[in-house]
Amino acid sequence: MSDKDTTHFGFKEVETEAKAGLVANVFHSVAARYDVMNDLMSGGIHRIWKRFTIELSGVRKGHSVLDIAGGTGDLAARFSRIVGSEGRVVLADINESMLHVGRDKLIDHGHHGNIEFVQADAQYLPFPDDSFDCITIAFGLRNVTDKDRALRSMLRVLKPGGRLLVLEFSKPKNELLSKAYDGYSFRVIPLIGKLVANDSESYQYLSESIRMHPDQETLKQMMEDAGFAQCDYHNMTGGIVALHRGVKA
């Protein structure tokens, strides 16, 4: 079996065609408790990371925004208020369970007039070329089987001058912080998952997927290789999370 026939699912090596199904099972399992677990695992800091993403997006009234792997709709809700009735927000997620949770949450909070919900694979986005002023993907790229294909797909559906923002866990810059974060990720997070969501295995995978994700410079190079210009990134919380940004020339 060649390297192209296999990929990583956390620390495990699996057949490439099997990964999407395995990831889907994880998110079917965690969907109902996703928001609660996010707050517990990050101490609420994920809200600050997402707010910074919104600030760097450059989104304005009337814009079209695509939030890939949008999950329970944190970013989509904020973008909905910014773009207004003249704008458009598409919350896309490959996972039906996550999409249902996000749709129900946003409708319950009154965010439905300018938001569309689309089940979509980041690698094969079902939108015309040059459709969006901004694309965001928060804590989703590391679960995509072919990240290079997904980045090219995002570039295709962006309008010229449009921005891609990738918010993702990354590599801490400080060795002591890195060791402490490893301990937290592999001991505490699966335990919280077991106690709160009765699912330690899914959170074990999520911790492993963070370690297997490309570091800051590697992801920046991947974006440039996909055709994005003006690529940069901002480390947050010591590099535990990084926000990458690229522009379609």
Residues 6+ apart with CB under 8 A from 29: 197, 199, 202
Burial of 175 (0-12, 13-18, 19+ CB in 10 A): exposed
121 assigned to a ligand binding site: yes
133 assigned to a ligand binding site: no
- Give bridge partners of residue 101 from the DSSP assignment: none
Q: What are phi and psi of 81, to 5 degrees?
A: -70, -35
How far apart CA 122 and CA 201 sit, in angstroms, is: 24
CB 68 within 8 A of CB 147: no
93 assigned to a ligand binding site: yes
Q: Is the dihedral of CA 165, 171, 172, 173 positive or negative?
A: negative
DSSP helix, strand, coil percent of the chain (3-state; round to 5):
55, 25, 25
Binding residues for S-adenosyl-L-methionine: 72, 93, 121-122
Binding residues: 72, 93, 121-122
